Amino acid sequence: MGCPQDHATLATDVLIRADLRGIDSHGIARLIGYVRLWEQGRINATPDIRLIHETSSTGVVDGDGGLGLVVAPRAMQIAMEKAESAGTGWVAIKNSNHFGIAGYHAMMGLHQDMIGIALTNASPLVAPTFSTERMLGTNPIAVSIPAGQEPPFVADMATTTAANGKLEILQRQSREAPYGWIQDAQGDPSTNPHELKDGGALLPLGGDREHGSHKGYALGALVDILSAVLSGANYGPWAPPFVSFLPLAPDPVGEGLGHFVGAMRVDAFRPASEFKSNMDKWIRRFRSADAVEGKQVLIPGDPEREMEKVRTHEGIPVLGKVVDDLTQVADKFGVMLPEEE
């Protein structure tokens, strides 16, 4: 696509990391989608990523229409530099695109004993409580917290009951979705995983009002406001869709997609060794909490870390459909794919 080598390397790292961690929906399966957006001129392969406003603990980055996979880590680097001097750093990003897994960016602070935070808005697929309209994205929240001898606490979650990737799995398997994941065009509960094609919507975490969907809606809204209203990107239903066959809103309220990243130096609060030994104690206590028969209490990040261990050794399984997509991309750019074993 003409990306500078360092951008291509960074973007690849973000995508492969998603696959390693078992978040297949955000890994190399997305490559063809980024290429299609670039073909339509919606992604700038050679962006001039600039810090356009700052205070000692804040900044705003203009992504110049670049890949979010590249823009977000650059912004997180700025947040971490600010945290180094001011204790914390917070950067809002506009004029960007889909940034892959939020957890990648949040985890960047770990090796410097920083708590990392990454938020993004996304293609509108989610109906607020009482609404029949798709107004918000799956707007994830990722927070990464260092520990001492224990592995870190890494939460990385869509603010919906279920992420869109889970729905895609059910579609491929022709299985029904549980109640509370989606609604139909009239706002009634649905178990049809294809409902979004007929005007349905994903539901905020909680599912319905009685089970707290207004809280999931508020969380998704917070992510939207911090990512896009604070930075000057498009918010709510104006957020640019990831799929290239959907048009951009004709009346944009900002530039591109928005993100929000933050870094907090642990020792801006208490000595890092003290904090980390208490995190170890926190993690061990929760891991050993009384559990229901046959289960164990998990720490956020456990399943992804286990998967990363396995796939680092055994490789990443890739679906036939994804291999076809990658072959198509390789042909387009005259890249040789490795022979299948």
Give least dist CB 185 to a second copy, A: 10
> Can you read off the two tokens belonging to residue 231?
């930075």
Which CB, 38 or 275, lies closer to a second copy?
Answer: 275
> Can you read off the two tokens belonging to residue 223?
């992510």
> Can you read off the two tokens belonging to residue 271?
């000595």
CA dihedral 25, 31, 36, 40 (to 10 degrees): 110
CA distance 209 to 71: 36
- C-beta of residue 98 within 8 angstroms of C-beta of residue 34: yes
Give least dist CB 324 to a second copy, A: 32
CA distance 304 to 272: 25
Cα separations (Å) of 128 from 14, 156, 185, 188? 30, 21, 13, 13
Mention every residue, 6+ apart, whose C-beta is less than 8 A from residue 155: 141, 142, 143, 144, 300, 301
305-337 as b/e, with b when 16 or more CB fall inside 10 Å?
A: eebbeebeeeebeeeeebeebbeebeeeeeeee
Which CB, 35 or 162, lies closer to a second copy?
Answer: 162
Give least dist CB 172 to a second copy, A: 19
Which CB, 85 or 328, lies closer to a second copy?
Answer: 85
Give least dist CB 293 to a second copy, A: 8
- C-beta of residue 256 within 8 angstroms of C-beta of residue 92: no
Mention every residue, 6+ apart, whose C-beta is less than 8 A from residue 69: 10, 11, 14, 15, 34, 98, 99, 100
Which CB, 13 or 208, lies closer to a second copy?
Answer: 208
Give least dist CB 331 to a second copy, A: 40
Which CB, 281 or 332, lies closer to a second copy?
Answer: 281
CA distance 118 to 107: 9
Which CB, 10 or 107, lies closer to a second copy?
Answer: 107
Give least dist CB 135 to a second copy, A: 5
Give least dist CB 9 to a second copy, A: 30
Give least dist CB 97 to a second copy, A: 20
Which CB, 73 or 220, lies closer to a second copy?
Answer: 220
Which CB, 291 or 330, lies closer to a second copy?
Answer: 291
Q: Is 60 strand, coil or helix?
A: strand
